[in-house]
Structure 1
Amino acid sequence: MARILYLSYDGLTDPLGPSQVLAYLKGLAALGHQISLITFEKPERPATDRLAMTSECAAAGIDWHPLAYTKRPPVLSTLKDLTAMHRTADRLVRERGYDIVHCRSAIPALVGARLKRRRGLRFIFDMRGFWADERVEGGLWDLGKPLYRAMFGWFKKQESRLLRTADVVVVLTEAARDILRGNGSVPATVPIAVIPCCADLGAFPPITDQARADARAGLGIAGEATVPAYLGSIGTWYMLGEMLDCFAVLRTRDPDAVMLFVTRDDPAPILAAAAARGIPAEALRIRPASRAEVPQLLAAADFGLFFIRPTYSKQASSPVKLGELFAMNLPVLANGGVGDMDRILAQSGAGVAVERFDPAAYGAALDALAALRPDPARWRATLVKWFDLDRGIAAYDGIYRALAPATERNSDTSRGA
């Protein structure tokens, strides 16, 4: 088995930390890989979250080294964090030795490439997305300002270097792989693995009639009302206004319709955006939830609703919520032009992609959604193919085994691994 140093600029106490970092690593540790983990934790996260993650890592045999994330001043704070990650990583390599450095996203990959060059580790660039392009398209870097224009140019050069330096590149979507192969960013000798954002399917069981009735009763929703649900943070990329516009069209058809937001975000911006569209607060349910509470609330829904800005960088994105909604047998109303969304919806028959962001297109999409007929076998097959956590763990396990030293692979073979 392999000795892994895993680097993440995201924290385990971030919303996606448990499902998109720790869940994979626990599975890989259970397969025998020795894993040390460096993350950056936000100071505002509850202390109870840190304690819970500490306990889970210890139980799984994962050696966790949380560092303090700094936010300000811009740019300098990132450089400070990068320096802290490099010092910690280099110390761990000297003290313990590793076979592979697995870097989640571009910032940690800068450290990983250096460890490959100086310490001889194999280097996995788990790209996640087109990071620098996301910063620009998300409005975080204004290319009209010389500093951000220079940063964008520098990071794009670094991204190119990382893609050429990596022993394996991991992306979230087939669309991203096709872009990288098509423009020659990744040498033909470097494998590109596609591993979408997977879901623990067992944690999101299909909705039963009783679960739906209980969830609606708890939320004060009439049993016959149509209920679309949005899951997760609103953030930079999700099109809150357009989602509410679509919901407004739904309310012309079903005045009793209620939109459920399962989110830890501040409700005020959601309520304000709804009010601007003439949607009363009583037509909304906005609830924060622990991970265990999420499926209990989603049981009230008839379908999932989310729109993501269809930009260049979002072709590399794999929305976690899509797999979680599918696991509960909830059809989805979304938009194309994002990751592999179009092909997933087409393969599954479990959702509809809105063609435009206007009332006529919303009405047509709602009609198409209403006309869908459940096909559990087809839905399940697509769900497992794209989003099964065990398949994701197996894919990473295969990469680790392929990169492990020959002595380790031979030892695994002799043990019947």
Structure 2
Amino acid sequence: MRILFLGYWSLNDGLTTSTVFPHLRVLQERSDVEAIRLVTIERGAMAQAELTFAPGYLTPKITFLPLRSKPGQNVILTKIEDFTRFPDELVRQAAEFRPDFILARGAPAGALAYLVWKKIKLPFYVESFEPHADYMLESGVWRRYDPRYLFQRHWEKKQKRLASGLMPVAENYRRQLIKEGVPAARIATVPCSVDITQFAFEDEARQRIRQRLGFASTALVGIYVGKFGGIYYDEEAFQVFRAAADQFGSGFRLIILTPDPEQEVQCKLTAAGLPSDSFFVTKAPHAEVPDYLSAADFAFATIKPAPCRLFCSAIKIGEYWASGLPVLVTPGVGDDSAIIEAEAGGAVFDLRKPESVRQSVQHLRQLLTEPNLRIRIRELAARYRSLERARQAYTMLLST
């Protein structure tokens, strides 16, 4: 089979590296896959830049041809222009590459795949399928009258009806899709997959990173990976970091890996009352993240609670688990919050409840005394976030 794999982020975006590349490897290993065309969407200042695959990712089966946004417009005009121009460009790519179907990563990419289907009836599948429009609405990023919300919500309804297969990231959403009338045979749950081997704990990396950062070998280190704002807490996250520091005392240290401006994050940490020698902030390439996770003892997932968050799967939680880190998380995050509570994979806090953060940090503190904790936590990643889930879903959906 020939697959046009449509991503929604830049080739160099961390989400492409962490969520798209692992699935490309799974697909290209299949004997029935003849060729894969990866299509990314390049926006902003780098939209016209020359793009190069990292060594080891481009194989004889995989070719690459991006879609490029036109620079110099505001975000709404850019998105409108993208969704009117890109379907025609994808139709041209389909005529040249001759795919059997489009495999879209995420509901926004699925919207483009649907628009191509509308023109040439090319079958399409959508993996990492989530209610993206409602995510953005409930997070306050979009408003109910925003054209982006209205169009995306409409296109998601079309995907549910017309996609040859959907791969939601949470069992919660699979059940919801079945309630909405999507045939169960067209649905396979694939939580955001993690390369368990890549994120395995390494004691050498732990010692090296701590020494470089000036963190004592006895320090208790928390880590946060990702952005602030949008679907994630912003100012509130820094108060959670402060609460953890208060509970763990002067030996607490914090690592933050974020694409946000470093100085801005440092100022927020200082304003929250954390001493400057107690934290380290940087933007790390995805390949370096496992070493930083090895240096930590537990992790933060400060995701804003919202009704549709039950249907998500945070890649960072899978990566935390793969390194053996218990996670301090908010309630109702996909299947993960319930797993964390049921299987002692960390602790759940709710900012709407007084004392919740303090109590959850205390619970976490008890977990950290458990012998072989990292080994047990890593099993959660093996059970719930392995790439084997993607292999099984592709076998179920793409082989029919």
Mark yes or no: TM-score above 0.5. Answer: yes
Q: Distance in 2 between matches of 1:89 and 1:395?
A: 25
Which residue number in structure 2 is paired with residue 384 of structure 1? 382
Which residue number in structure 2 is paired with residue 66 of structure 1? 66
Q: Answer whether contact 1:57 1:63 (CA < 8 A) is retained.
A: no
Q: Distance in 1 between matches of 2:353 and 2:254?
A: 19
Which residue number in structure 1 is paired with residue 220 of structure 2? 226
Q: Distance in 1 between matches of 2:36 and 2:129?
A: 20
Residue by residue, what CA displacement relative to the aligned partner does 1:29-67 show, whole Å, maximum 9, x if unpaired? 1213121122112354599993234x5553252121112
Q: Which moved more, 1:37-46 or 1:89-98?
A: 37-46
Q: CA deviation at 1:285?
A: 0.7
The equivalent position to 2:173 in structure 1, one of 168, 171, 176, is 176
| 1:89-128 map, 5 Å | 89-126=90-127, 128=129
1:166 equivalent to 2:163? Answer yes
Q: CA deviation at 1:206?
A: 1.7
Cα separation, partners in 2 of 1:236 and 1:355, compared to 1, 3 Å: closer
| 1:9-408 map, 5 Å | 9-32=8-31, 33=33, 34-44=35-45, 50-53=51-54, 56=56, 58-70=58-70, 72-126=73-127, 128-143=129-144, 146=145, 148=146, 152-182=149-179, 184=180, 186-188=181-183, 191-208=186-203, 210-253=204-247, 254-356=249-351, 360-372=355-367, 373=370, 374-375=372-373, 378-402=376-400
Residue by residue, what CA displacement relative to the aligned partner does 1:54-85 show, whole Å, maximum 9, x if unpaired? x5553252121112235733333112222332
Cα separation, partners in 2 of 1:359 and 1:189, compared to 1, 3 Å: closer
Q: What letter matches 2:22 in structure 1?
A: A
Matched residue SS, 1:379? helix
Matched residue SS, 1:89? helix
Q: Distance in 2 between matches of 1:379 and 1:297?
A: 17
Cα separation, partners in 2 of 1:153 and 1:246, compared to 1, 3 Å: closer
Q: Answer whether contact 1:109 1:162 (CA < 8 A) is retained.
A: yes
Q: Distance in 1 between matches of 2:237 and 2:61?
A: 42
Displacement over 3 Å in runs of 4+: 42-49, 55-58, 114-120, 150-155, 355-359, 374-381
Q: Answer whether contact 2:111 2:152 (CA < 8 A) is retained.
A: no
Using the size of structure 2 for normalisation, the TM-score is 0.89
Cα separation, partners in 2 of 1:378 and 1:275, compared to 1, 3 Å: closer
Matched residue SS, 1:58? coil
Q: Distance in 1 between matches of 2:84 and 2:10?
A: 17
Cα separation, partners in 2 of 1:214 and 1:358, compared to 1, 3 Å: farther
Structure 2 gaps, min length 5:
none
Q: What letter matches 1:166 in structure 2?
A: A
Matched residue SS, 1:366? helix
Structure 1 gaps, min length 5:
403-417
Q: What letter matches 2:218 in structure 1?
A: E
Cα separation, partners in 2 of 1:6 and 1:56, compared to 1, 3 Å: same
Q: What letter matches 2:323 in structure 1?
A: M
Q: What letter matches 2:201 in structure 1?
A: P
Q: What letter matches 2:166 in structure 1?
A: V
Q: Answer whether contact 1:228 1:259 (CA < 8 A) is retained.
A: yes
Matched residue SS, 1:269? helix
Cα separation, partners in 2 of 1:212 and 1:110, compared to 1, 3 Å: closer
Residue by residue, what CA displacement relative to the aligned partner does 1:359-407 show, whole Å, maximum 9, x if unpaired? 72222111111222245665344221211124323422432222xxxxx
Q: Answer whether contact 2:170 2:189 (CA < 8 A) is retained.
A: yes
Q: Answer whether contact 1:13 1:45 (CA < 8 A) is retained.
A: no
Q: Distance in 2 between matches of 1:123 and 1:191?
A: 12
Cα separation, partners in 2 of 1:187 and 1:295, compared to 1, 3 Å: closer
How many percent of aligned residue pairs carry the same amino acid? 26
Cα separation, partners in 2 of 1:27 and 1:45, compared to 1, 3 Å: farther
Q: Distance in 2 between matches of 1:347 and 1:134?
A: 25
Q: Answer whether contact 2:325 2:374 (CA < 8 A) is retained.
A: no
Q: What letter matches 1:338 in structure 2?
A: V
Q: Answer whether contact 2:202 2:291 (CA < 8 A) is retained.
A: no
Q: What letter matches 1:19 in structure 2?
A: S
Q: Answer whether contact 1:347 1:382 (CA < 8 A) is retained.
A: no
Q: Distance in 1 between matches of 2:69 and 2:49?
A: 18
Q: Distance in 1 between matches of 2:119 and 2:5?
A: 17
Q: Distance in 1 between matches of 2:347 and 2:362?
A: 10
Q: CA deviation at 1:245?
A: 1.9
Cα separation, partners in 2 of 1:48 and 1:57, compared to 1, 3 Å: farther
Q: What letter matches 1:165 in structure 2?
A: L
Q: Answer whether contact 2:266 2:281 (CA < 8 A) is retained.
A: no
Q: Answer whether contact 1:335 1:341 (CA < 8 A) is retained.
A: no
Q: Distance in 2 between matches of 1:260 and 1:160?
A: 40
Matched residue SS, 1:6? strand
Cα separation, partners in 2 of 1:60 and 1:130, compared to 1, 3 Å: farther
Give the superposed CA RMSD.
2.6
Aligned residues: 393
Q: Distance in 2 between matches of 1:100 and 1:89?
A: 12
Cα separation, partners in 2 of 1:83 and 1:92, compared to 1, 3 Å: same
Q: Distance in 2 between matches of 1:249 and 1:141?
A: 30
Cα separation, partners in 2 of 1:41 and 1:393, compared to 1, 3 Å: farther
